[in-house]
Amino acid sequence: MTRRRWIADTWTEDSATLTGTQAAHLARVLRVRVGQEFDIVANGVARRGVVESADAECVRFRLLEAIASEAALPLTCLLSVFKFDRYEWAIEKLTELGVATILPVLAQRTEKHLAQAAVARVERWRRIAREATQQARRTDVPEIADPVRLENITAPTLGTLQLLLSEVEEERTLWSALSSQNAPAAQIAIGPIGGWTDAELQWFERNQWLPVSLGPRILRAETAAIATASVLAAWLEQHRAASNNHAS
Ligand code: SAH
């Protein structure tokens, strides 16, 4: 049976609480009762939780055994900032797909007013990621970094595959790039609605990113992000399973 999953607001060794909007939702909408069971993530671990007391301000749980949980995909998504409604949708879907980190990029063609407003939006994006985490029954909330400009991004751990999704790449497809590679972790970069500038394409090249194409059709940024994350999810899982088999 799958129980609803909640991420605790506070916890001790054997108890946890949900407060604020989470408590209000549990008490008023779900009419939670003492003795009911949920999955509670506390301190990064998912455990069986039994409701000990509940009102609209605070729901308290006794924490029992840990529940097996999957680690996030070792996948980072550099997601250029674009129109917020679609951006929020992309964050929700990338969270469901298991990405570990989303890095909002202020690209040169990110519209000025969006770039200015992005900093104040991060808290909302983190809330969306947290809700999607619970809904998807993930254990770990993906990290949503503060918005950055490309030139301030630091290089990833050695061995990380870096794929630049480029609408102007004509030869190398995502598929061909992946079939000739093997890496324990990956990063993908998605451009804004106006696409990447030449200067940005050069920055990526200098920093060892591999430009890849998703085919002759131009996808909207959020479609490109989700499509690529899905393929990478399958690819990374395949490598993980293969290396586990090898180890045992
Ligand atoms: N305005 C641009 C398209 C930008 S699409 C134009 O009309 O040419 C936004 C982003 O989605 C791109 O920067 C790229 O990262 C990704 N993308 C969209 N279609 C793609 C494709 N066919 N191959 C690779 N990346 C693609």
Is 232:73 a contact under the CB 8 Å cutoff?
yes
Q: Do 47 and 27 reside in the same domain of the chain?
A: yes
Q: What's the domain range around 143? A: 73-247
| Sheet order of strands, 186-190 included | 143-144, 99-105, 73-80, 186-190, 161-165, 210-212
Establish whether residue 214 lines the binding site of ligand 1, counting it when its CB lies within 6 angstroms of any ligand atom: yes
Establish whether residue 156 lines the binding site of ligand 1, counting it when its CB lies within 6 angstroms of any ligand atom: no
pLDDT digits (tens, 9 = 90+) for 34-74: 999 999 999 989 999 999 999 999 999 999 999 988 788 99
Q: Do 34 and 88 reside in the same domain of the chain?
A: no
Establish whether residue 170 lines the binding site of ligand 1, counting it when its CB lies within 6 angstroms of any ligand atom: no
CATH code, domain carrying 40: 2.40.240.20
**Block residue for tokens 């030869």:** 171
Give 89 Cα–ligand 1 centroid separation in angstroms.
18
Domain boundary among 66, 89, 116: 66
pLDDT digits (tens, 9 = 90+) for 168-210: 999 999 999 999 888 999 999 999 999 999 999 999 999 999 9
Q: Do 161 and 212 reside in the same domain of the chain?
A: yes
Q: Do 40 and 89 reside in the same domain of the chain?
A: no
Q: Do 38 and 156 reside in the same domain of the chain?
A: no
> Please, which pLDDT band fits residue 102 given cuts at 50, 70 and 90?
very high
Q: Do 237 and 127 reside in the same domain of the chain?
A: yes
Is 61:10 a contact under the CB 8 Å cutoff?
no
Count of the separate structural domains present in the chain: 2
Q: Do 170 and 241 reside in the same domain of the chain?
A: yes
Domain boundary among 66, 90, 111: 66
Q: Identify which of 82, 188, 219, 223 to mutate to test ligand 1's pocket (most ligand atoms within 8 A of the CB).
A: 219
Q: Do 200 and 225 reside in the same domain of the chain?
A: yes
Give 219 Cα–ligand 1 centroid separation in angstroms.
6
Establish whether residue 227 lines the binding site of ligand 1, counting it when its CB lies within 6 angstroms of any ligand atom: no
pTM metric for this prediction: 0.88
Residue/partner pairs of 27-31 with CB below 8 Å, 24 or more apart: 27/54, 27/55, 27/56, 27/59, 28/56
CATH code, domain carrying 145: 3.40.1280.10
> Please, which pLDDT band fits residue 238 given cuts at 50, 70 and 90?
confident
Give 56 Cα–ligand 1 centroid separation in angstroms.
46
